[in-house]
Structure 1
Amino acid sequence: MALLSRLRLVTVDVTGTLIAYRGQLGDYYCTAARSAGMPCPGYTRMHQSFNAAYADMARRHPCFGHASRMPDVDWWKMCVRDSFVRAGYQYDDGTFEQIFRRIYSVFGTPAPYSVFPDARRFLRWLRAEKVTVGIISNADHRYRDVVLPALGLNQGSEWDFGVFSGVAGVEKPDRRIYEMALEAAGGVAPEQALHIGDSMSKDYAPARAVGMHALLLDRFRTADAERWRRAGAPVLPDLVSAQHWLTTGDHSPPTVEEPIIDERD
Protein backbone atom coordinates (compact mmCIF):
# COMPACT_ATOMS: atom_id res chain seq x y z
CA MET A 1 0.00 0.00 0.00
CA ALA A 2 1.31 3.45 -0.92
CA LEU A 3 2.36 5.44 2.13
CA LEU A 4 0.46 8.51 0.94
CA SER A 5 -2.87 6.77 1.52
CA ARG A 6 -1.99 6.36 5.20
CA LEU A 7 -0.90 9.94 5.82
CA ARG A 8 -2.86 12.85 7.22
CA LEU A 9 0.14 15.13 7.77
CA VAL A 10 3.47 15.85 6.11
CA THR A 11 5.87 18.23 7.85
CA VAL A 12 8.79 19.76 5.99
CA ASP A 13 12.06 21.38 6.98
CA VAL A 14 12.87 24.67 5.24
CA THR A 15 16.55 25.41 4.57
CA GLY A 16 18.13 22.69 2.47
CA THR A 17 14.73 21.12 1.80
CA LEU A 18 12.52 23.86 0.35
CA ILE A 19 15.00 26.72 -0.06
CA ALA A 20 18.75 27.26 -0.27
CA TYR A 21 21.12 30.13 0.41
CA ARG A 22 22.37 32.10 -2.56
CA GLY A 23 26.15 32.05 -2.20
CA GLN A 24 27.87 31.79 1.16
CA LEU A 25 26.86 33.48 4.38
CA GLY A 26 30.31 35.02 4.72
CA ASP A 27 29.71 36.92 1.48
CA TYR A 28 26.87 38.91 3.05
CA TYR A 29 28.79 39.70 6.23
CA CYS A 30 31.88 40.88 4.39
CA THR A 31 29.83 42.90 1.92
CA ALA A 32 28.12 44.68 4.83
CA ALA A 33 31.46 45.49 6.47
CA ARG A 34 32.97 46.80 3.27
CA SER A 35 29.90 48.90 2.53
CA ALA A 36 30.70 50.71 5.79
CA GLY A 37 34.30 51.21 4.64
CA MET A 38 35.63 48.58 7.02
CA PRO A 39 37.95 45.61 6.41
CA CYS A 40 36.62 42.09 6.67
CA PRO A 41 38.28 38.68 6.89
CA GLY A 42 37.98 36.20 4.07
CA TYR A 43 34.57 34.74 3.35
CA THR A 44 35.48 31.26 4.59
CA ARG A 45 36.92 32.60 7.84
CA MET A 46 33.82 34.73 8.37
CA HIS A 47 31.57 31.73 7.76
CA GLN A 48 33.47 29.61 10.28
CA SER A 49 33.37 32.39 12.87
CA PHE A 50 29.62 32.77 12.39
CA ASN A 51 29.07 29.03 12.89
CA ALA A 52 30.93 29.17 16.20
CA ALA A 53 29.14 32.32 17.36
CA TYR A 54 25.74 30.93 16.37
CA ALA A 55 26.35 27.65 18.21
CA ASP A 56 27.38 29.54 21.34
CA MET A 57 24.34 31.82 21.23
CA ALA A 58 22.02 28.86 20.64
CA ARG A 59 23.48 27.16 23.70
CA ARG A 60 23.27 30.23 25.97
CA HIS A 61 20.00 31.65 24.65
CA PRO A 62 18.08 28.91 22.81
CA CYS A 63 15.36 29.62 20.28
CA PHE A 64 16.64 33.10 19.47
CA GLY A 65 16.29 34.21 23.08
CA HIS A 66 12.72 32.97 23.54
CA ALA A 67 13.13 31.74 27.14
CA SER A 68 15.14 34.85 28.08
CA ARG A 69 12.42 37.10 26.63
CA MET A 70 15.14 38.58 24.45
CA PRO A 71 13.94 40.28 21.26
CA ASP A 72 15.29 38.31 18.32
CA VAL A 73 16.91 41.46 16.89
CA ASP A 74 19.02 41.70 20.07
CA TRP A 75 19.88 38.00 19.79
CA TRP A 76 21.09 38.49 16.25
CA LYS A 77 23.01 41.63 17.17
CA MET A 78 24.98 39.70 19.80
CA CYS A 79 25.55 36.83 17.37
CA VAL A 80 26.75 39.07 14.54
CA ARG A 81 29.08 41.07 16.80
CA ASP A 82 30.59 37.86 18.19
CA SER A 83 31.01 36.51 14.65
CA PHE A 84 33.21 39.47 13.71
CA VAL A 85 35.12 39.37 17.01
CA ARG A 86 35.91 35.67 16.56
CA ALA A 87 37.14 36.50 13.07
CA GLY A 88 39.47 39.13 14.53
CA TYR A 89 37.52 42.33 13.82
CA GLN A 90 35.99 44.77 16.27
CA TYR A 91 34.20 47.91 15.12
CA ASP A 92 33.13 50.94 17.10
CA ASP A 93 29.46 51.01 18.11
CA GLY A 94 28.33 53.38 15.38
CA THR A 95 30.07 51.46 12.62
CA PHE A 96 28.89 48.12 13.93
CA GLU A 97 25.31 49.37 14.08
CA GLN A 98 25.53 50.33 10.41
CA ILE A 99 26.96 46.93 9.49
CA PHE A 100 24.43 45.05 11.59
CA ARG A 101 21.43 46.90 10.19
CA ARG A 102 22.47 45.92 6.69
CA ILE A 103 22.95 42.25 7.62
CA TYR A 104 19.73 41.98 9.64
CA SER A 105 17.77 43.74 6.93
CA VAL A 106 18.98 41.59 4.04
CA PHE A 107 18.24 38.32 5.86
CA GLY A 108 14.70 39.52 6.45
CA THR A 109 14.14 39.63 2.68
CA PRO A 110 14.08 36.93 -0.01
CA ALA A 111 17.37 38.20 -1.48
CA PRO A 112 19.73 35.62 0.14
CA TYR A 113 17.49 32.65 -0.68
CA SER A 114 16.27 30.68 -3.67
CA VAL A 115 13.40 28.19 -3.80
CA PHE A 116 14.12 24.73 -5.16
CA PRO A 117 12.10 24.32 -8.39
CA ASP A 118 10.19 21.28 -7.09
CA ALA A 119 9.22 22.76 -3.71
CA ARG A 120 6.06 24.70 -4.55
CA ARG A 121 4.65 21.97 -6.80
CA PHE A 122 5.23 19.30 -4.18
CA LEU A 123 3.56 21.22 -1.37
CA ARG A 124 0.55 22.10 -3.50
CA TRP A 125 0.28 18.47 -4.64
CA LEU A 126 0.14 17.28 -1.02
CA ARG A 127 -2.60 19.75 -0.15
CA ALA A 128 -4.55 18.76 -3.28
CA GLU A 129 -4.33 15.18 -1.98
CA LYS A 130 -6.02 16.40 1.25
CA VAL A 131 -2.83 16.02 3.29
CA THR A 132 -2.13 18.74 5.84
CA VAL A 133 1.27 20.39 5.31
CA GLY A 134 3.27 21.77 8.22
CA ILE A 135 6.56 23.64 8.34
CA ILE A 136 9.07 22.79 11.10
CA SER A 137 12.05 25.11 11.20
CA ASN A 138 14.72 26.40 13.55
CA ALA A 139 14.07 30.00 12.55
CA ASP A 140 12.74 33.23 13.97
CA HIS A 141 9.41 34.81 13.10
CA ARG A 142 10.78 36.43 9.91
CA TYR A 143 10.74 33.10 8.07
CA ARG A 144 7.03 32.81 8.80
CA ASP A 145 6.02 36.43 8.36
CA VAL A 146 8.32 37.72 5.61
CA VAL A 147 10.79 35.35 3.98
CA LEU A 148 8.59 32.41 3.00
CA PRO A 149 5.70 34.56 1.71
CA ALA A 150 8.16 36.72 -0.26
CA LEU A 151 9.51 33.55 -1.86
CA GLY A 152 6.02 32.48 -2.90
CA LEU A 153 5.66 29.83 -0.18
CA ASN A 154 2.45 31.01 1.44
CA GLN A 155 0.38 29.77 4.32
CA GLY A 156 -2.94 28.67 2.88
CA SER A 157 -1.65 27.72 -0.56
CA GLU A 158 1.66 25.87 0.01
CA TRP A 159 1.46 25.11 3.74
CA ASP A 160 -1.20 25.02 6.45
CA PHE A 161 0.72 25.82 9.63
CA GLY A 162 4.26 26.29 10.88
CA VAL A 163 6.18 25.57 14.05
CA PHE A 164 9.12 27.98 14.15
CA SER A 165 11.57 27.66 17.02
CA GLY A 166 11.85 31.39 17.70
CA VAL A 167 8.07 31.54 18.14
CA ALA A 168 7.39 28.15 19.73
CA GLY A 169 10.32 28.20 22.15
CA VAL A 170 11.43 24.67 21.18
CA GLU A 171 13.93 23.81 18.49
CA LYS A 172 15.12 20.76 16.62
CA PRO A 173 16.34 18.18 17.55
CA ASP A 174 14.02 18.42 20.60
CA ARG A 175 11.24 15.93 19.88
CA ARG A 176 8.71 18.33 21.39
CA ILE A 177 8.74 20.46 18.25
CA TYR A 178 7.43 17.43 16.33
CA GLU A 179 4.82 16.76 19.01
CA MET A 180 3.72 20.40 18.69
CA ALA A 181 3.28 19.89 14.96
CA LEU A 182 1.13 16.79 15.47
CA GLU A 183 -1.03 18.75 17.89
CA ALA A 184 -1.24 21.78 15.60
CA ALA A 185 -2.51 19.51 12.82
CA GLY A 186 -5.45 18.49 15.01
CA GLY A 187 -3.94 15.71 17.08
CA VAL A 188 -2.68 13.57 14.21
CA ALA A 189 -1.29 10.20 15.30
CA PRO A 190 2.47 9.90 14.67
CA GLU A 191 2.01 6.89 12.41
CA GLN A 192 -0.17 9.05 10.15
CA ALA A 193 2.55 11.67 9.73
CA LEU A 194 5.76 12.00 7.71
CA HIS A 195 8.61 14.46 8.20
CA ILE A 196 10.96 15.43 5.36
CA GLY A 197 14.29 17.14 6.05
CA ASP A 198 17.99 17.14 5.27
CA SER A 199 19.56 16.32 8.65
CA MET A 200 19.83 12.93 10.31
CA SER A 201 20.23 14.44 13.79
CA LYS A 202 17.70 17.27 13.56
CA ASP A 203 15.08 15.85 11.20
CA TYR A 204 15.12 12.09 10.78
CA ALA A 205 16.11 10.85 14.25
CA PRO A 206 13.75 13.00 16.37
CA ALA A 207 10.81 12.48 14.02
CA ARG A 208 11.30 8.72 14.16
CA ALA A 209 11.66 8.91 17.96
CA VAL A 210 8.18 10.42 18.13
CA GLY A 211 6.84 7.60 15.93
CA MET A 212 6.50 9.54 12.67
CA HIS A 213 7.64 8.30 9.29
CA ALA A 214 10.71 10.20 8.07
CA LEU A 215 12.57 10.83 4.84
CA LEU A 216 15.86 12.56 4.15
CA LEU A 217 16.72 14.64 1.10
CA ASP A 218 20.28 14.74 -0.20
CA ARG A 219 20.00 17.58 -2.71
CA PHE A 220 23.74 18.26 -2.81
CA ARG A 221 24.94 14.63 -2.90
CA THR A 222 26.87 14.93 0.33
CA ALA A 223 29.22 12.34 1.79
CA ASP A 224 26.87 12.00 4.80
CA ALA A 225 24.15 10.44 2.65
CA GLU A 226 25.93 7.08 2.48
CA ARG A 227 26.09 6.97 6.27
CA TRP A 228 22.37 7.81 6.46
CA ARG A 229 21.55 4.94 4.12
CA ARG A 230 23.65 2.51 6.13
CA ALA A 231 21.66 3.57 9.21
CA GLY A 232 18.49 2.52 7.41
CA ALA A 233 17.09 5.92 6.45
CA PRO A 234 15.39 6.41 3.10
CA VAL A 235 17.41 9.05 1.23
CA LEU A 236 16.19 10.70 -1.97
CA PRO A 237 17.68 13.42 -4.18
CA ASP A 238 14.67 15.75 -4.43
CA LEU A 239 10.94 16.21 -3.90
CA VAL A 240 10.07 14.83 -7.33
CA SER A 241 11.52 11.52 -6.14
CA ALA A 242 9.71 11.95 -2.83
CA GLN A 243 6.36 12.22 -4.62
CA HIS A 244 7.10 9.00 -6.51
CA TRP A 245 8.21 7.33 -3.26
CA LEU A 246 4.97 8.30 -1.56
CA THR A 247 2.69 7.03 -4.32
CA THR A 248 4.32 3.83 -5.58
CA GLY A 249 4.51 1.88 -2.35
CA ASP A 250 8.21 1.24 -2.97
CA HIS A 251 9.84 2.53 0.22
CA SER A 252 13.19 0.84 -0.14
CA PRO A 253 16.24 3.12 -0.27
CA PRO A 254 17.33 4.06 -3.80
CA THR A 255 20.42 2.60 -5.44
CA VAL A 256 23.53 3.98 -3.76
CA GLU A 257 25.66 6.16 -6.03
CA GLU A 258 29.20 7.31 -5.40
CA PRO A 259 28.75 10.34 -3.12
CA ILE A 260 30.07 13.74 -4.13
CA ILE A 261 31.33 15.91 -1.30
CA ASP A 262 29.61 19.31 -1.27
CA GLU A 263 31.30 22.33 0.27
CA ARG A 264 28.10 23.55 1.89
CA ASP A 265 27.24 22.85 5.54
Structure 2
Amino acid sequence: MLNLNRIKAISLDLDDTLWPIWPTIARAESVLYDWLTLNAPQTATLYASPLALRAVRDALAQQRPDLAHDMTSLRRESLRFALNNAGDDPQLAEPAFEVFIAERHNVTFYPDALPALEFLAARYPLVSLSNGNAEVSRMALAPLFVGSVSAFKFGVSKPDRRIFEAAAQAAGVHADEVLHVGDHALQDVLGARAAGMQAAWVNREQAAWEHAERPHVELGDLSELVQTLDERRVLKSPE
Protein backbone atom coordinates (compact mmCIF):
# COMPACT_ATOMS: atom_id res chain seq x y z
CA MET A 1 0.00 0.00 0.00
CA LEU A 2 1.09 3.52 -0.77
CA ASN A 3 2.15 5.55 2.28
CA LEU A 4 1.12 9.07 1.31
CA ASN A 5 2.73 10.65 4.35
CA ARG A 6 6.21 9.50 3.27
CA ILE A 7 6.11 11.30 -0.07
CA LYS A 8 8.22 14.46 -0.17
CA ALA A 9 9.23 14.34 -3.85
CA ILE A 10 8.27 12.53 -7.04
CA SER A 11 10.47 11.15 -9.80
CA LEU A 12 8.92 10.40 -13.16
CA ASP A 13 9.88 8.25 -16.08
CA LEU A 14 9.31 9.97 -19.44
CA ASP A 15 8.86 7.62 -22.41
CA ASP A 16 5.58 5.65 -22.27
CA THR A 17 4.73 7.38 -19.01
CA LEU A 18 4.19 10.97 -20.21
CA TRP A 19 3.97 10.21 -23.95
CA PRO A 20 3.98 7.14 -26.22
CA ILE A 21 7.54 6.58 -27.37
CA TRP A 22 7.33 4.53 -30.58
CA PRO A 23 5.19 6.97 -32.59
CA THR A 24 7.70 9.65 -31.54
CA ILE A 25 10.71 7.56 -32.60
CA ALA A 26 9.09 6.56 -35.90
CA ARG A 27 8.39 10.20 -36.76
CA ALA A 28 11.93 11.27 -35.80
CA GLU A 29 13.42 8.48 -37.91
CA SER A 30 11.27 9.54 -40.86
CA VAL A 31 12.43 13.16 -40.57
CA LEU A 32 16.02 11.93 -40.29
CA TYR A 33 15.64 9.80 -43.42
CA ASP A 34 14.27 12.76 -45.38
CA TRP A 35 17.30 14.78 -44.31
CA LEU A 36 19.66 12.01 -45.39
CA THR A 37 17.93 11.81 -48.77
CA LEU A 38 18.89 15.42 -49.39
CA ASN A 39 22.28 15.54 -47.67
CA ALA A 40 23.64 11.98 -47.85
CA PRO A 41 21.90 10.40 -50.85
CA GLN A 42 24.19 7.37 -51.03
CA THR A 43 23.25 6.45 -47.48
CA ALA A 44 19.55 6.91 -48.20
CA THR A 45 19.94 4.67 -51.24
CA LEU A 46 21.87 1.93 -49.46
CA TYR A 47 19.51 1.96 -46.49
CA ALA A 48 16.24 2.28 -48.33
CA SER A 49 13.94 3.09 -45.41
CA PRO A 50 13.94 4.41 -41.84
CA LEU A 51 13.52 0.82 -40.66
CA ALA A 52 16.73 -0.18 -42.44
CA LEU A 53 18.59 2.51 -40.52
CA ARG A 54 16.98 1.37 -37.27
CA ALA A 55 18.31 -2.11 -38.00
CA VAL A 56 21.83 -0.65 -38.14
CA ARG A 57 21.28 0.90 -34.71
CA ASP A 58 19.90 -2.36 -33.31
CA ALA A 59 22.85 -4.33 -34.69
CA LEU A 60 25.29 -1.87 -33.13
CA ALA A 61 23.50 -2.21 -29.80
CA GLN A 62 24.27 -5.94 -29.88
CA GLN A 63 27.92 -5.27 -30.68
CA ARG A 64 28.37 -2.43 -28.17
CA PRO A 65 26.87 -3.38 -24.80
CA ASP A 66 28.96 -0.57 -23.33
CA LEU A 67 26.49 1.84 -24.97
CA ALA A 68 23.38 0.18 -23.50
CA HIS A 69 22.82 3.17 -21.20
CA ASP A 70 23.57 5.81 -23.87
CA MET A 71 20.93 6.06 -26.59
CA THR A 72 22.51 9.28 -27.87
CA SER A 73 25.91 7.74 -28.58
CA LEU A 74 24.30 4.60 -29.94
CA ARG A 75 22.21 6.54 -32.44
CA ARG A 76 25.09 8.82 -33.41
CA GLU A 77 27.55 5.98 -33.92
CA SER A 78 25.07 3.98 -35.96
CA LEU A 79 24.63 6.98 -38.23
CA ARG A 80 28.39 7.34 -38.53
CA PHE A 81 28.68 3.68 -39.52
CA ALA A 82 25.87 3.94 -42.10
CA LEU A 83 27.32 7.07 -43.67
CA ASN A 84 30.80 5.61 -43.88
CA ASN A 85 29.53 2.29 -45.21
CA ALA A 86 27.60 4.07 -47.99
CA GLY A 87 30.50 6.30 -49.00
CA ASP A 88 29.09 9.54 -47.60
CA ASP A 89 30.96 11.84 -45.23
CA PRO A 90 30.84 10.27 -41.72
CA GLN A 91 31.12 13.77 -40.24
CA LEU A 92 27.49 14.23 -41.28
CA ALA A 93 26.58 11.99 -38.35
CA GLU A 94 26.49 14.96 -35.99
CA PRO A 95 24.10 17.20 -37.95
CA ALA A 96 22.03 14.14 -38.86
CA PHE A 97 21.68 13.27 -35.19
CA GLU A 98 20.65 16.84 -34.37
CA VAL A 99 17.82 16.53 -36.89
CA PHE A 100 16.72 13.29 -35.23
CA ILE A 101 16.95 14.49 -31.64
CA ALA A 102 15.08 17.72 -32.34
CA GLU A 103 12.13 15.75 -33.69
CA ARG A 104 12.47 13.18 -30.92
CA HIS A 105 11.56 15.98 -28.50
CA ASN A 106 8.44 16.87 -30.50
CA VAL A 107 6.28 14.56 -28.40
CA THR A 108 2.52 14.11 -28.17
CA PHE A 109 1.60 13.89 -24.51
CA TYR A 110 -0.99 11.52 -23.15
CA PRO A 111 -4.11 13.62 -22.40
CA ASP A 112 -3.70 13.12 -18.66
CA ALA A 113 0.03 13.95 -18.52
CA LEU A 114 0.25 17.75 -18.51
CA PRO A 115 -2.67 18.38 -16.11
CA ALA A 116 -1.15 15.81 -13.76
CA LEU A 117 2.32 17.36 -13.97
CA GLU A 118 0.93 20.79 -13.17
CA PHE A 119 -0.91 19.39 -10.15
CA LEU A 120 2.14 17.48 -8.92
CA ALA A 121 4.62 20.32 -9.47
CA ALA A 122 2.50 22.63 -7.33
CA ARG A 123 2.86 20.21 -4.40
CA TYR A 124 6.14 18.31 -4.75
CA PRO A 125 9.58 18.78 -6.28
CA LEU A 126 9.59 16.75 -9.51
CA VAL A 127 12.62 15.06 -11.08
CA SER A 128 12.62 13.29 -14.43
CA LEU A 129 14.38 9.93 -14.44
CA SER A 130 14.84 8.30 -17.84
CA ASN A 131 16.83 5.63 -19.62
CA GLY A 132 16.15 7.41 -22.92
CA ASN A 133 17.67 10.56 -24.37
CA ALA A 134 14.74 12.92 -23.98
CA GLU A 135 15.63 15.94 -21.86
CA VAL A 136 12.97 18.03 -20.16
CA SER A 137 15.26 21.05 -20.53
CA ARG A 138 14.44 20.99 -24.25
CA MET A 139 10.70 21.06 -23.62
CA ALA A 140 8.14 23.61 -22.53
CA LEU A 141 7.45 21.56 -19.39
CA ALA A 142 10.97 22.22 -18.05
CA PRO A 143 9.81 24.76 -15.39
CA LEU A 144 7.73 22.03 -13.73
CA PHE A 145 10.87 20.04 -12.83
CA VAL A 146 13.55 20.84 -10.26
CA GLY A 147 15.95 18.32 -11.76
CA SER A 148 16.58 15.75 -14.47
CA VAL A 149 18.58 12.52 -14.33
CA SER A 150 19.18 10.56 -17.53
CA ALA A 151 21.10 7.34 -18.05
CA PHE A 152 23.13 8.67 -20.97
CA LYS A 153 24.53 11.48 -18.81
CA PHE A 154 24.70 9.69 -15.47
CA GLY A 155 26.46 6.61 -16.84
CA VAL A 156 24.16 3.82 -15.63
CA SER A 157 20.54 3.05 -16.40
CA LYS A 158 17.50 1.92 -14.44
CA PRO A 159 17.11 -0.38 -12.56
CA ASP A 160 20.56 0.40 -11.09
CA ARG A 161 19.85 1.83 -7.64
CA ARG A 162 22.50 4.53 -8.08
CA ILE A 163 20.44 6.38 -10.67
CA PHE A 164 17.42 6.37 -8.35
CA GLU A 165 19.58 7.69 -5.53
CA ALA A 166 20.77 10.46 -7.87
CA ALA A 167 17.15 11.40 -8.55
CA ALA A 168 16.45 11.64 -4.82
CA GLN A 169 19.53 13.81 -4.38
CA ALA A 170 18.37 16.07 -7.22
CA ALA A 171 15.06 16.50 -5.42
CA GLY A 172 16.82 17.27 -2.14
CA VAL A 173 15.32 14.35 -0.19
CA HIS A 174 16.17 10.81 0.89
CA ALA A 175 15.33 7.91 -1.39
CA ASP A 176 12.66 6.60 0.98
CA GLU A 177 10.88 9.95 0.68
CA VAL A 178 10.46 9.63 -3.10
CA LEU A 179 7.57 8.19 -5.05
CA HIS A 180 8.80 6.99 -8.42
CA VAL A 181 6.25 6.85 -11.23
CA GLY A 182 6.84 4.82 -14.37
CA ASP A 183 5.49 2.26 -16.80
CA HIS A 184 8.19 -0.43 -16.79
CA ALA A 185 7.89 -3.25 -14.29
CA LEU A 186 11.61 -3.99 -13.94
CA GLN A 187 13.25 -0.66 -14.72
CA ASP A 188 10.78 1.54 -12.84
CA VAL A 189 8.87 -0.44 -10.23
CA LEU A 190 11.36 -3.06 -9.07
CA GLY A 191 14.28 -0.69 -9.53
CA ALA A 192 12.66 2.00 -7.40
CA ARG A 193 11.68 -0.47 -4.71
CA ALA A 194 15.23 -1.85 -4.54
CA ALA A 195 16.47 1.71 -4.02
CA GLY A 196 14.10 2.19 -1.08
CA MET A 197 11.52 4.28 -2.91
CA GLN A 198 7.82 3.80 -3.20
CA ALA A 199 6.76 2.87 -6.72
CA ALA A 200 3.69 3.70 -8.79
CA TRP A 201 3.13 1.53 -11.86
CA VAL A 202 1.45 3.32 -14.77
CA ASN A 203 -0.30 0.42 -16.48
CA ARG A 204 -2.06 2.03 -19.44
CA GLU A 205 -2.35 -1.28 -21.32
CA GLN A 206 -3.90 -3.20 -18.40
CA ALA A 207 -1.08 -5.73 -18.48
CA ALA A 208 -0.82 -8.49 -15.89
CA TRP A 209 1.75 -8.04 -13.12
CA GLU A 210 4.25 -10.92 -13.31
CA HIS A 211 6.53 -10.41 -10.31
CA ALA A 212 6.31 -11.42 -6.66
CA GLU A 213 7.12 -7.93 -5.39
CA ARG A 214 4.37 -5.52 -6.34
CA PRO A 215 4.13 -1.76 -6.92
CA HIS A 216 2.81 0.30 -4.03
CA VAL A 217 0.04 1.52 -6.30
CA GLU A 218 -1.13 0.64 -9.83
CA LEU A 219 -2.49 3.43 -12.03
CA GLY A 220 -4.47 3.31 -15.25
CA ASP A 221 -3.16 6.80 -16.02
CA LEU A 222 -1.73 9.82 -14.21
CA SER A 223 -5.14 11.28 -13.42
CA GLU A 224 -5.54 8.41 -10.95
CA LEU A 225 -2.36 9.53 -9.19
CA VAL A 226 -3.76 13.04 -8.96
CA GLN A 227 -6.94 11.67 -7.43
CA THR A 228 -5.00 9.60 -4.91
CA LEU A 229 -2.81 12.51 -3.82
CA ASP A 230 -5.71 14.95 -3.80
CA GLU A 231 -7.53 12.65 -1.41
CA ARG A 232 -4.57 13.07 0.91
CA ARG A 233 -5.02 16.85 0.82
CA VAL A 234 -8.75 16.55 1.53
CA LEU A 235 -8.17 14.15 4.41
CA LYS A 236 -5.61 16.47 5.97
CA SER A 237 -7.70 19.61 5.55
CA PRO A 238 -9.02 21.13 8.78
CA GLU A 239 -12.68 20.53 9.64
TM-score (norm 1): 0.69
Distance 2:125 2:105 in 1: 29
Q: Which runs of 5+ in 1 are unaligned?
A: 66-71, 250-265
| 1:54 matches 2:57 | no
Distance apart, 1:214 and its partner CA: 0.8
The equivalent residue for 1:77 is 76
Please give the residue correspondences for 1:1-265 in structure 2 after superposition, counting only pairs within 5 Å: 3-21=3-21, 22=24, 24=26, 26-35=29-38, 36-37=40-41, 38-39=44-45, 40-54=47-61, 56-57=63-64, 59-61=65-67, 63-64=69-70, 76-82=75-81, 84=82, 90-94=85-89, 96-98=90-92, 101-109=95-103, 112-129=106-123, 131-140=124-133, 143-144=134-135, 148-154=136-142, 157-190=143-176, 192-219=177-204, 221=205, 225-228=207-210, 232-233=214-215, 234-248=217-231
Distance 1:171 1:232, change over 3 A: closer
Asked if 2 retains the 8 angstrom alpha-carbon contact of 1:195 and 1:212, the reply is yes
Asked if 2 retains the 8 angstrom alpha-carbon contact of 1:109 and 1:150, the reply is no
C-alpha distance after superposition, 1:162-202 (max 9, x if no partner): 11223322321211100112222224241x21111121121
Asked if 1 retains the 8 angstrom alpha-carbon contact of 2:105 and 2:139, the reply is no
Distance 1:134 1:51, change over 3 A: same
Distance 2:122 2:116 in 1: 10
- Specify the code of the residue in structure 2 equivalent to 1:126: L
Question: Size of the alignment, in residue pairs?
Answer: 224
Distance 1:206 1:195 in 2: 9
C-alpha distance after superposition, 1:63-106 (max 9, x if no partner): 439xxxxxx6x664323345x49xxx931142x44465233333
Distance apart, 1:126 and its partner CA: 1.5
The equivalent residue for 1:256 is none
Distance 1:228 1:235 in 2: 13
The equivalent residue for 1:68 is none
Distance 2:219 2:59 in 1: 30
The equivalent residue for 1:253 is none
The equivalent residue for 2:236 is none
Distance apart, 1:51 and its partner CA: 3.1
Distance apart, 1:56 and its partner CA: 4.0
Pairwise CA RMSD of aligned residues? Answer: 3.3
Where 2:208 maps in the other structure, the secondary structure is helix
Distance 1:55 1:12, change over 3 A: farther
Distance 1:106 1:114, change over 3 A: same
Distance 1:187 1:149 in 2: 21
Distance apart, 1:6 and its partner CA: 3.0
Distance 1:6 1:113, change over 3 A: same
Distance 2:105 2:121 in 1: 27
C-alpha distance after superposition, 1:205-241 (max 9, x if no partner): 110111211122233x27xx21448863443232112
Asked if 2 retains the 8 angstrom alpha-carbon contact of 1:106 and 1:112, the reply is no
C-alpha distance after superposition, 1:25-64 (max 9, x if no partner): 543453343333332344444434423423543x224543
Distance 2:152 2:68 in 1: 8
Where 2:20 maps in the other structure, the secondary structure is strand
Distance 1:229 1:201, change over 3 A: closer
Asked if 2 retains the 8 angstrom alpha-carbon contact of 1:199 and 1:216, the reply is yes
